[in-house]
Each structure stands twice: as C-alpha cells, then as structure tokens.
Structure 1
Amino acid sequence: MKFLYYSFFLLFISFTALAQEINIDAVVAEAQLEVKNNNFDKALALIEPLSAKFPENEDLKIYTGRIYSWKKEYNTSIKILSPMADRTVPNPDALLAIINSYFWSEQFEKTIYYCDKYLAIDPNSTDVLTIKVKCLEKLNRDEEALAIIEKESLTTNSTQAFKGISTLIGRKTKNAIAVSYLNVSTSNPGQSPLHYGYVEYSHKFSKSAIVGRANVGHVNNDTQMLFETDYYQTFSKKNYLYVNAGLSTGETVFPVAKAGIEYYFIPHKNFDYALGLRFMHFETENVTLLTGQLAYHTGVYTLAYRPYYDTANELFSHVVSVENRNEEKESILRVELQYGNVPYLYLYNNFIEPLKAYRAGIQYQYRLGNSFFVRPVFLYEYEEYLPEEYRHRFNAQLIITKRF
C-alpha cells in the first residue's frame, strides 16, 4: 500500500513539474511572437512575472535583458544582465547579451571588456571577435583591430567576417598616389595616337582634402604639361565644395589656364544634387561651362545625369551614367552614355563651331589587397571632327592608385 502511495505521489510531482515546464515554454513562445512583431512591452508583460516566479531560471532573466536591449533601454538591460556576467564564473549567454547591450549603446570600451571575458571562454568565437574589432575601429585603435583580423584570417578562414571592417580602416588612410596613362586613337580617317598621363598625390585632413596633379600630353610631336590642384571642403552634414585650378606650360595640348568650382548639396532622401562652373582660357578664346548633377541612389546602384552648357557656343552636352558600387570590396562598375562636347580627363577643345559627338564608355575599379586600386577605362566616340564628317575615336585609360 505504501508503495502505491509513494508511486502516486512521485507521479503527481512529475506531472506538476512537467506542467510548469510546458507553461514556461508556452509563455516564452508567446513572448517570442510578440518580440517578432516588435511588441516589446507585451513580451515583457509575459516574461517578467514568469522570471519572478522562477528566480533560479537564468534563461528567463537573460531573455528579459535581451528584450530591454531590443527596446533600446540599454541601462535596464545591463542592470539585469550584470550579476550573471560579472560573477567569478559568468554565464556565457549573459555575456553575449550584455556585449550587444553595450555595443548597441556605443559604449565601446565596456564592450571590449566583456568581449575579452567571453573570449576567455570561447577564444574562437568569430561573432564576438568581429564585435571587438568593430569597437577597436570605432575607437581608432586600428593597429589592434588589424592585428586581430590578420591573425584570424590566417587561422580560421574567417576573412569574410572582417572584410567590411578592413575597408573602413583602409578608408581612414590619409595619403594616396595615383598614376595614369590615356591613349586616344582614331580611324576612318586615322591620325597619330595621342598620349596623355598624370601623376597625382592626395592628402586627407579631418574635413578637407587636397590633390596635386602633374599632367603630360604628347600630341602631334609636341609635349606639354598641365599642373593643377583640387581642393575639397566638407561642411555640416554631407555637403561639400570642390575647387580646381591649373596652369599649362603650352597653349595647344591643354588650356593655358583652367579653374572650376562645384557645390554638392546635402542629399535629400535618395537624391543628391550639385551645381558647378568650369572655366578654360585658351590662346585665342575662353570657354565657360555651366554644369551640375542630379543623382538617384537605390541600393548599390546610382543613376546620374550631368549636363554641360557651353556659354560661348550656346551648346548643351549631356552625360547619363549607371554605377554599381560595392562598398565592402570598394569596387565600381560604371557605364556612361554621352552626347556633345563633354570634358574627359581634364581635356577640352575650344571648337570654333559646335560639332557633335556620341560616346559610350565603361570603367571598372578593382581593389588589390587593402591598398592598391586598378581602374581601366574605355570610351568609344563617334565624333564629328569636321562639319558633317565623322570618324571613330577610341579612348583607353588605365589608372593605378596606392593609398598609404
């Protein structure tokens, strides 16, 4: 009889415990559904009474802390998670949760501290290492971040997780040197190829940048040079000013002198705008171009339109471009359609009378390693070189850039 009594009692206790477990699971499942719908207050109303009823259940506490972090009440989240994360033997899940709370609240030093505590338990956690590296980059501790990236890339094949961070660090580089060569050939009728090249050095400051460029051109057995400077000044938010000035050693290959200015306005939603002016002084006359840009950004693509108005010839020219940009790889694929007398590579002719030109171009930028960039450019033109006389013109250019 006693055996039956104890058996019944144990069975009753087991069913009761099972019912409690099922209730916990059901409530948590309901809370998760509310979280999925961003109803964080409803989720907390379900979880917090349950956590108070079962104070020994750390999973409920950790989930409560996560909900507060998703609700962006980071201080409350940290207060709940700290006792489990700060004890001698921390709860790994509590560490992961508090890492996110500190990271999302941009407390990067604290984030690194808890990352290190978690990495003492699991040193190969790519997710935690990635967060730590992001914090180091935010704190401008770039050498430490790159050391971790290099080590992990060699030992765990986790290169993909760190590519975006490497790109961010690389963009902080202050200096760059670029060299370029451009070959211009024509056919039907043909003429001797034209050769152009440049070497430029650029340096970035906190809110500005300056570029010095030495151009050389070899045309009809005559070699001349053009020395110019670009200056960029960033203002509040994302608007900035571009200024250009240059002087030539001759009078035929390049303009004797040139200048330009363009103001890029603060982007509005997916659109950005610019207005500018180009001025070129030739031996016999001056050329003034009014220009600007309207661009629309959608995802990785940018559709842009840029007009040029030659005030001397009262002639409009047009450029329409589509660009695909991969921010992580820093690669660019750009296709252009042009009509009219459009400046190309700082070149422009002072035509006596308006002549037509139809162009289609493509260029691609590819990053080699972390600091070298290669950009080939090809532009085909069907140009009117004399009134009602057309020929084919091929522009092939290669630009190589090294940043440091």
Structure 2
Amino acid sequence: MKKYIYYSILLLFISSIAIAQEINIDETLSKVKQEVEKNNFDKALSLIEPLRAKFPENEDIQIYTGRIYSWKKDYTASAKILLPMADRVNPNPEALQALINTYFWSEQFEKCITYCDKYLALNPKDTEVLKIKVTCLEKLNRDQEALDIISRSDIENSTQAFRGIRTLIGRKAKNAVSASYLNISTSDPGQSPFHYGYVEYSHKFSKSAIVGRANIGNVSDNTQMLFETDFYQTFSNKSYLYANAGVSTGETIFPVAKAGLEYYFKPHKNFDYSLGARFMHFDTDDITLVTGQLAYNTGNYTLAYRPYYDTSNELFSHVLSLQRSNEEKERIIRLELQYGNVPYLYLYNGFTQPLKAYRIGLQYQHRFGDSFFVRPIFLYEDEEYTPGQYRNRFNVQLIVTKRF
C-alpha cells in the first residue's frame, strides 16, 4: 500500500513537471510571436534560442527560429538551421518552405529553384511555390522555362498569380513594330479631312533604345513624307534622355527638319519631372518650343502637367492629364485637357497665330495575348480658326503594336 501511494505521488510529480514544461513552451512561443509582430527580432530570438537549445528535437521550434532569422535578414543563420531538416532523405515540408523563402529573399535564385523542386516533388500543385520558382527563372532570364510552367493546364486556372510574371517576360522583348492612322476632320465650317499615318520599328538595347519612323501626310491632295528617329538612353540613377531628329520631303504638312531633346530626371518620391525643347524648321519660319513635365504618381494613377512655350510667337500651351494604369495587363486609360497650340504628336505647323483652342481627349490601350496592343485615341477641339470664329475639330487615331 505504501509503495502504491509512493509511486502515485511520484507519477503525479513527473506529470506536473511535464505539464509545466509544456505550458512553458506555449507561453514562451506566445511571447516570441508578440515580439515578431512588433519586428523586435532580436528580442524574439533571445526568448526562443534557449527553448531551441532545450528541445533540439522539436522541429517546429527549429523552423520558427529559422524563419525569424530570415525575417531579420540574417539569411546565413537561417539557412544553417533549416538545411539539416531540408536535406535529409525525408525532408520536412515546412522547413523546405522556410528555406525557399530564405533563398528567394536573399536573391540566391539557383539555390531557391533547387529547393522549390524538392518541395514540389512532395506538393506538385502548390501555387505559391510554383510562383516563386517561376519568378526565380525570370530573374535568371530562363524565360522559356518559366513560360512552360505557366502554360501547364493545371496552372492556367490560376492565371491571376502568374499574369504579372508573364508581363515582365513580355516586356523583355527587344523589338516592336507599330502602325497608325490619324484622321482630322472639321465641321461648322468643315473642310476636307487631313490624313496622317506612320509605321515604325523599335529596338531595345541593354540601356538604350532606338526607334525609326516613316510618317505620311495627305492634306488638300498634297502628300508629303517625314522620316525621323527617336533615341532613349537610360542612366544608373533611373533618369533617362530622349532625343529626336527628322527630315521631310515637303515644306507645309511637316517641318522641313525637326529636332528635340528632353531629360527626364531621377524620380523623387512620387514625383517625376523633365525639361526639354523641340525645334522645327519650316520654309518660312523656325519654331522653338520649350517644354517639360511634372507628374505625380499615386497607386495606379498618374496626374501630369506639361506646358509648351513657343519662343517665336510668345505663346503658351498647356496639357493636363490623368492616367490610370494596370501594370499586370499593361492597360492604360488616359484623359487629357489641353489649351493652346499644343503639338499633336508630330504635327505642328509654321502658321501659328495667337488663337484660342480648347481640347479634351481620351485614349485607351488594350493588350491582346502577351504581345499585341491596340490604342484608340479621340480628341475633340473647339478651335478658333480666325479671330472670334470657332469650329469643331475631331482627331481620331488608331495605333496597333506588335512586340517580339
């Protein structure tokens, strides 16, 4: 009887110790998570490291410690903890997930892909890990491998997660061809429509791009051509330079020669700004426009203001625009309010007078598939064609682009 009481008391004592230890683990981990939520990673580690040393067989504690080191951006320490659980014959899936994040965040993309493959051997349909692997492939310019994974039938139903990666790969295309038609009509009073069009080819280099464009214009049964080149040079501080030059076959529809230069400064917080000039030589006059832009970006919206100052005729023109962009779909919708003799694309003639013109325009860009774009543009103008006399002017344009 005494032995029975003795063993019962001993068993109760041992159970109490075990329960106390379990409660101690739970309480400590709760405190650790509270510190992690506050981004107090050093404090969290000071609480969990003794626990990890006391219970080395508890892989949940080991994995969570590895995650904390990765959140702290001590990726070497994180990998050292997680690798033994990830490299064994039967790897711990949670350790693999944590190690994948560690290598991804530290931009060790080759290693990240290796452990993505190990995890996907256990869970081949895990969308998040597939997305990380595809992102790593894109970062390493292994674009076709990434696209092959995305095009798998069981992933096509999850295109939301992969659409952005498709867009990034599509934007790497070095070449593009575009064609455009512009019709300018007037009413009250009306005149014969003006017809303009162009075809262009662009090619991107590592830090620059060049565009060649052939324009054609038909006004009052007179047809002329304008040949021009655009050049873009980017710099390491995210600024870039735009340059333009062109010559024409006539003297009225297009300028005899034209040139332009504009520098886009490094963005400052949410603001973009630039400063530049355009020069046009006509048979009877030379036109110099001073211009620039100030833009404010917030989320998917950009509010921009661009003035033009015609130094020859001392005229100011203004453009205010609001644009909404969808980066994933490369979709754009843009509203413009204009006042004055604003050069519509490549059009600006030498017969400028201090007449008033009020315009409102709308343009939209839609991408079909991964590389085909359609952009319709409509601009209505209340134009003072002689002092005190106004008429309606309609600019309708369509631009189609193929990227490859």
TM-score interval, normalised by the smaller of the two chains: over 0.9
Structural mapping, 1:57-206, within 5 Å? 57-151=58-152, 154-155=154-155, 157-206=157-206
Structure 2 spans left out of the alignment, 5+ residues: none
Structure 1 residue 136: Cα displacement: 0.6
Structure 1 residue 332: Cα displacement: 1.1
Separation of aligned partners in 2, 1:7 and 1:335: 83
Separation of aligned partners in 2, 1:166 and 1:80: 34
Separation of aligned partners in 2, 1:278 and 1:264: 15
**Structure 1 residues 13, 162: closer, same or farther in 2, change over 3 A?**
same
Structure 1 residue 306: Cα displacement: 0.7
Separation of aligned partners in 1, 2:121 and 2:396: 55
SS of 1:284's partner is: coil
Separation of aligned partners in 1, 2:401 and 2:14: 74
SS of 2:343's partner is: coil
Q: How many residues align?
A: 403
Separation of aligned partners in 1, 2:167 and 2:100: 23
Separation of aligned partners in 2, 1:235 and 1:156: 38
Q: Which residue of 2 aligns with 1:268?
A: 268
TM-score, length-scaled by structure 2: 0.96
Separation of aligned partners in 2, 1:260 and 1:81: 57
Separation of aligned partners in 2, 1:277 and 1:73: 50
SS of 1:347's partner is: coil
Structure 1 spans left out of the alignment, 5+ residues: none
Separation of aligned partners in 1, 2:319 and 2:109: 45
Q: Which residue of 2 aligns with 1:313?
A: 313
**Structure 1 residues 156, 398: closer, same or farther in 2, change over 3 A?**
closer
Q: Which residue of 1 aligns with 2:226?
A: 226
Return the letter of the residue paired with 2:233. Answer: Q
Return the letter of the residue paired with 1:52. Answer: A
Structural mapping, 1:240-319, within 5 Å? 240-319=240-319
Q: Which residue of 2 aligns with 1:43?
A: 44
Return the letter of the residue paired with 2:387. Answer: P
Separation of aligned partners in 2, 1:155 and 1:237: 38
Q: Is the 8 A contact 2:288 2:312 kept in 1?
A: yes
Return the letter of the residue paired with 2:146. Answer: A
Structure 1 residue 10: Cα displacement: 4.7
Identity %: 74
Structure 1 residue 349: Cα displacement: 2.0
Return the letter of the residue paired with 1:378. Answer: F
SS of 1:355's partner is: coil
Separation of aligned partners in 2, 1:155 and 1:196: 44
Q: Is the 8 A contact 2:252 2:349 kept in 1?
A: no
- Residue deviations 1:265-323 (CA, integer Å, cap 9, x gap): 11112112211111111121111111111111112111111110101110111111111
Separation of aligned partners in 1, 2:201 and 2:132: 34
Structure 1 residue 137: Cα displacement: 0.6
TM-score, length-scaled by structure 1: 0.96
SS of 2:261's partner is: strand
Structure 1 residue 13: Cα displacement: 4.1
